[in-house]
Each structure stands twice: as C-alpha cells, then as structure tokens.
Structure 1
C-alpha cells in the first residue's frame, strides 16, 4: 500500500493472559522500556485491564477504506465497543494517499489522534519516529504476546532505532493486522476465450499478452492516478526479474544499485507494455479504484494489485477470478509484499493502555477470524483455516503460504529512503507515460538513494 509492505504462518489460539496483581506491579514500566534503545513517552504503568481505565475516548486513524477491510474494521470496532463500553472509539478513515499527506500534520498538532496506521519504512514510520511522534510498544508486545504471535521477520518490518535512522532494528512501533502480497488477478473466462491457461511463471504471463491482444482483449487493467499502483507494478516485475535477494538488497541498501541491469530490464518491460498498449491508454489519469472496477467488469484480463482487493473482486467476479504470485528468475513464487500498515500508538495518546488494548483486540486470534469472514488475509491465519480449493480465497491463502514459506517476499520499494515514495511513483508515471527512458528512470532512483546515503 500505500501501501506498502512481508514468513512462516504460525498457528495460535487466542492468547490467554492471566497476570496477577503482583505480576502486574512487577511488570509495570514505562511503555517501550523493554526495547534496546527505548524512548518512553507515557509515564503510566502498563496494564491489560482495559475495563479498569475509566471513561476513555480514543481517536483512531486508519486507511481501511476498501470494501472487505472496511467491513472488518467496522465489525471489530462494534465488538470492541461491546466488550469495553468505557472506551469510545472515534474512527477517522482515509485513503492511503490521503493518509500519507495528512497524517504527519495531524500527529504534530495539539489534537493528535491516539492510534494510527503508519506505513513502514523511512518515508513515514521512520520520519514519525525521528520526530518523536510515535511511542515504542515493546512493553505491551511483551504482556500481550505480540512477540510470540508474529514471527520476528514480520515484527522487524515495524521496528526502528529510536532516532529513526535504522529500519528493522531497535524498538517495536506497532503491529499489523493483515498480510499482503502483490500478485496477478486474472479473468478465467477471457483466458479460456484466448485459448490460454492461467499463468504460473512471469514468462507465461508475458507470453500471454500479445495473444490476448490478438484476440481483441485488453491484456492488462491498470490505473496510476493515485501513484501507489506504480509501486506495485514495478515492484512485482522487479521481484520476478531480479529475484528476491537482489530486489530486497536494493530496498535495504545492503547490495546492488538501482541502475543495475535487472532494474533497467524491469523498467523496460513497463515501458514496452505501455507502448504496445498492453496497459490501457490514459492509465496515468485513471484512479486505482476505477481500474479495479473496470477489471471486475471484464475490461482487462490481468490486474497486478494486492490481496487487499480480495473481497471487492470476489463480489464483482465470483468464480471467474483467480490469483497467482508468479514464479520468477529463482523458479519460485516471488513478489512484492509484507504486512499491512502498522497499528501504532502516538506520543500524544491520551491513554496508552487503552490504545494498546484496542490494538490487541483488532489483531488477536478472534480478529483474524473476522478478517477471514470478511474476505481479508490476516497476518496469522486462524488455527485450522483451510479455504476451498479453486476459490479466490483459496488461491490467495495458498499463494501467501507459498511465498512466505519459500522466502519469496520483497519489501515494498518505497521503504528505501524518506523520499523514495515520491521519486518512485513520479518516475513510474513518467516511464509508462513516455517521458522517461528506462535508463533515466533507474538513474532517478539511484540518485535519490545516493543522496540518502550521503545524508546518513
């Protein structure tokens, strides 16, 4: 998402916390006190007894605006209100694009929200941590069991050093509700009409494009007016062309350069898809929601987007839609993805214990079942969950397993630097719009990253 973004799937039941009063006193510490360089911002002792906190109002900002996840969030908020009538939740729901442009200002204001969804990586979470706008949640992670509920690799996506300089290390600044992978949705009837079967490899997908066009079909649906779809399209392509390690190294800065041959090759594919009209004309002026709607109405055979569109496309297409994470250069399913935006507690939260109780409620085992029931992919699937084979839910759960178990996940590319989101999204628009050559596009990415390294 932006959303950006991510692993074994542990099977756990509902976490039972039976802390005696003595244990609570012993465990009481400033939030974040268990982190390696924790910078606590709340003085209240940690407690899991949310019913004892008195009347509390929590302002919660989220970006769960798509159909299925919005349904899930509404149900979870209603259930939380019933369980804790003393805690009132005032929900503010914004699109990912709106959240990116307004959240930092809101966090800096006098009337800051208590709980927010913060995008991982340097542009958002790192900047918020550096500015002292979020507080570590390590203390609550310990008492609620978040450190055992999620694999360390997943938790690390929500970690930063207290100065915001080092990603995936240091304090924990939130936990995520959903798992995400960017994959290829496909229209089964249109593939059959063109005499094709569902692609398994990236090469299969590419080979299908001219065949679909010759059959009078629009090969791909795509709309990049909101910018984030460009991250998904280029990221999934780069993952397949370069492989997981090389692509991941670029994001983390541990190897390679954005001007490497594989990056240029991936950029060249996007440029050619636009020139050959495999991408729809005028795509940079089409919103992502409209592109999803158009795909659901049969105006395109393929659509690269994330698992967060499961419920919307299931409702629109029924059994006519499938999903696959394509195998790439490493001969395994490898693609862009991670976890949904982290649920974080702000530094100005009016009651950090109430905020933590809310985050626990919407991410625990019972919440995972609500997510599944509303057509979403939780980070940790409910114990014993098995979606029906041949269904979209089954495709997505199976692909999530394949990608995570084979270490096929590449973090969202915009995590790379504080300014990479803007550089990357503008660059993809210019690339597919014909204003950038593949070389110019990759050079712009490397320039951004080089500047980031010089400033560190």
Structure 2
C-alpha cells in the first residue's frame, strides 16, 4: 500500500459509481482506447529556461516517513529549481484511487500523479492515452540504466494497455515493497514462543499464541485489499512461483482453481475458523488493525514494508520484521515489487519540468533521503546504511527475497477488476460465507473472462 499503500498497495480500489461507465470505456482491450501519445518528442532538460512553472503533484505518501521524504525532496527540488513551484495534493491511497480516474479525464488534471501499477488503474490510463510514455526522458536521464528489468516490468505496458510487464515505461517508483510478517518479540517471549524460522514453525506459533490466550494475527479488512496480502503470503508458500507469476500478470493458460491454490485458500479459512485473527476483521479498517498491533493487541501482523516507519515510531525496539519463513526445503518467497509509481499525465502543460521532478525524487540522493526517513529504496538499496532495528530488518528482508528468493507480483495485477473481485471473495472466505472452492471459482471467472477476451 503502498501501499501501499499502498499499494500497494497496494490493491485496486473501486472507483466512484459515476465513473463506472468511464472505466468500461478505457479498460485495456476496449475499442474506445485512445491513440497513444507520441514517444519521439523533443526533450528539454534545462529547466531554468522554462520560466515560471507550477507543477501540481498528487501523491499518497501520507504516513509519517512517507510524508517526510516527500516534504524534504520537494523542498530540495524547489531550491534547485527556484522557477518551479510544487503544488502538492496528498491523499490517502483509497482517496487517491477513487478520485484519480475522474481527474485524469477532466479539464484540470494534475501534472504528476501516483497511479497504482495494476490494470484497473495504470493499464486503463495508458489505454485511454491519459499518461505519457517516458521513453524520451528515459533516454535523456538514463532511467533505463537506473532501473533494472525486474523493476521496469512493474511499470511497463504496451501502448494499448493490453500487455502488462512489456512495452513502454509509464511511471517511476521510489520505493521497493515486500510483504512480510511483523512480530512483537516481547509478546513471543512472554508466551514462551521462539521466533519461527520455517513456515511450519510459524503456523505452530499461531496455534501456540491462541492457546496462550492472545490474538495471533491483526487484520483489518473493511477495504478488502488487506486480505489479498494475507492470502498471497500463504499462497507464496504453497504454490509454485511460476504459477503465481503467470496468474498475477494475467497470462493465458494459468488457473486459480488448482489443488495448490485450493490448499492456500483452505489454509486461510482454517486460520479464520481457528480464531487466529482478531474479531470482526471485515468490519475494521487497515489503519485500525496495524494500530491495534502496535498497542500489543496481536502478536503478528502480515503486511507490507510501508508500515515500518509508523510501527517503529509507535513501538520503538519492540517490533521486528521478517520475510515469510519458507516451508522446509523451499526458497524464501514473498509478495512485493514497487510502490505506486509517479507518472506524467498527458494533460500536463509542463512535461519537461515534470520529468525533471521524477528524475529528482528517484535519484541516488533521493534514495538516501528515503533511507533516512524509514522507507525502502527500490534502487541503490545495497548502497544504503539503514538504522539498526526495524529498518534494518526490512532492508534485509527485501534483499533476501529479491536477491536470493522469489519476489512475486501483487495478485490484483491479474485483471482490471481482480482487486474488487478477489477482495470481496476473500471477505466471504474469512467470514465463512463461502467455502474455498466457491471463492476460487469466483476469482477464476473474472480471470477467464479477461484472458479469453
């Protein structure tokens, strides 16, 4: 989320009811897709020569460390380019998702936006011609060298928006993301439970926490996307990585109704039935859940690296983070990738200044600022020295998964509507309203309708 987050954000959020017709018109594959903007435009990198410029920037970097890095970088950018004024509009992930679509199709679109990488957002905006392909500025600033292929795939689409993971870059991310497990070491010690090092030990720890009279897992799922991260974490341990990648990128030939995916869904249902989550998971929101964890009301929290700065501020040294411990004999695997990328809108009347801004907030100097503010840089990660404690845990987890394990895509990337479809289906799974087979059949129907279109 992410976020986040993001995100991850991190998952797609439903647009306003009034925008549903627009969504259908600009979904990848639609006959109404706009002609893509040109990729051979001339580029001006001498920003001082542009004269007075106001850049309107929409972001969702609202949490403590996220907001701090944006404030610092924006101030530094305006100091370097005094002719440019940044007009920042910072919104929560959910608020940004519900307003961005209407804004991009209106007459007063911002210059720079953070857009969810997934098909329902960035893919639809690309298909509608509402974002500029970044190739001209990538050549000028060397972004193709800054970002490895493993990162560029998360911000790349073909100009018609149909193929995710290939084609032009349409955004630049600042942060890397990894979904792992936060834990309260004091509570584990109180309950006499060792920090788990394998998936089998983790599930045994959940049972032991419950038997000890405490709540094993904090989850707030009223927005529906947090459960995708819980399911994804379980799925990453039980389903082959290539199957998950094919599903998440919406490739033909993959299926959600395999025995391995059914086992993953059954495991989440078993956790819910065993009382491993707090009560009322579908009735409280994500912020309430991580805040409850920060108060010691649960021992574990499955969530993304975007929570780290806030949790460390609330808990100090009494919170740690680890990648999901893998089953014996399997590599470490986790959901993750990039935070929401920053993109330039087609409506911007100052795209060169906007590109300079994107370059500035993703530079090597910017990566150091991100590190200092408790965020996880998506590039130059190994060159950073994070502070001891939770930040160091997060950096180590990202490196373990990205370098030596398997960093797997977010599941809502699969189709334009998968965030909503899977989110609602997992709410039914957690509440016991639908069994695993029915939940996966619902998800499969959404998937099949898209890949077989």
TM-score, normalised via structure 1 length: 0.89
**Is the 1:430–1:436 contact (alpha carbons within 8 Å) kept by the matching residues of 2?**
yes
Q: Which residue of 2 aligns with 1:99?
A: 96
**Is the 1:246–1:255 contact (alpha carbons within 8 Å) kept by the matching residues of 2?**
no
Q: Which residue of 1 aligns with 2:139?
A: 142
Measured on the aligned residues, the alpha-carbon RMSD in Å equals 1.8
Distance in 1 between residues matched to 2:409 and 2:231, nearest whole Å: 13
Q: Which residue of 2 aligns with 1:28?
A: none
Distance in 2 between residues matched to 1:55 and 1:42, nearest whole Å: 26
Counterpart among 113, 116, 122 of residue 116 in structure 1: 113
Where does structure 1 lack aligned partners over 5 or more consecutive residues? 7-37
Greater CA drift, 46-55 or 377-386: 377-386
Q: Which residue of 1 aligns with 2:185?
A: 188
Distance in 2 between residues matched to 1:143 and 1:45, nearest whole Å: 10
Flag the 1:214–1:383 CA change in 2: closer, same or farther, 3 A: closer
Q: Which residue of 1 aligns with 2:410?
A: 412
Q: Which residue of 2 aligns with 1:350?
A: 349
Deviation of 1:201 (Å): 2.2
Flag the 1:243–1:322 CA change in 2: closer, same or farther, 3 A: farther
Counterpart among 66, 71, 84 of residue 81 in structure 2: 84
Distance in 1 between residues matched to 2:217 and 2:346, nearest whole Å: 44
Counterpart among 198, 201, 207 of residue 201 in structure 1: 198
Deviation of 1:387 (Å): 3.3
Distance in 2 between residues matched to 1:453 and 1:383, nearest whole Å: 38
Q: Which residue of 2 aligns with 1:262?
A: 260
Distance in 1 between residues matched to 2:82 and 2:40, nearest whole Å: 24
Distance in 2 between residues matched to 1:383 and 1:306, nearest whole Å: 19
Distance in 2 between residues matched to 1:231 and 1:52, nearest whole Å: 47
- Deviations 1:41-63 (Å, cap 9, x if unpaired)? 59962021112111111111111
Deviation of 1:251 (Å): 1.2
SS in 1 for 2:217: coil
Q: Which residue of 2 aligns with 1:162?
A: 159
Deviation of 1:254 (Å): 5.2
**Is the 1:42–1:347 contact (alpha carbons within 8 Å) kept by the matching residues of 2?**
no
Where does structure 2 lack aligned partners over 5 or more consecutive residues? 11-34
Deviation of 1:40 (Å): 3.1
Are 1:437 and 2:435 matched, yes or no?
A: yes
Deviation of 1:227 (Å): 2.0
Flag the 1:418–1:444 CA change in 2: closer, same or farther, 3 A: same
Distance in 2 between residues matched to 1:232 and 1:420, nearest whole Å: 13
Distance in 2 between residues matched to 1:418 and 1:380, nearest whole Å: 28
**Is the 1:64–1:93 contact (alpha carbons within 8 Å) kept by the matching residues of 2?**
yes
SS in 2 for 1:132: coil
Aligned length, in residue pairs: 423
Flag the 1:382–1:332 CA change in 2: closer, same or farther, 3 A: closer
Counterpart among 390, 393, 396 of residue 395 in structure 1: 393
Deviation of 1:76 (Å): 1.0
**Is the 1:5–1:120 contact (alpha carbons within 8 Å) kept by the matching residues of 2?**
no
Counterpart among 228, 232, 241 of residue 229 in structure 2: 232
**Is the 2:370–2:377 contact (alpha carbons within 8 Å) kept by the matching residues of 1?**
yes
- Structure 1 residues 20-39: aligned runs within 5 Å: 39=36
Greater CA drift, 163-172 or 226-235: 226-235
SS in 2 for 1:175: coil
Distance in 1 between residues matched to 2:9 and 2:242, nearest whole Å: 16
Distance in 2 between residues matched to 1:176 and 1:97, nearest whole Å: 18
Q: Which residue of 2 aligns with 1:380?
A: 379
Are 1:60 and 2:50 matched, yes or no?
A: no
**Is the 2:39–2:133 contact (alpha carbons within 8 Å) kept by the matching residues of 1?**
no
TM-score, normalised via structure 2 length: 0.90
**Is the 1:135–1:173 contact (alpha carbons within 8 Å) kept by the matching residues of 2?**
yes
Deviation of 1:249 (Å): 1.9
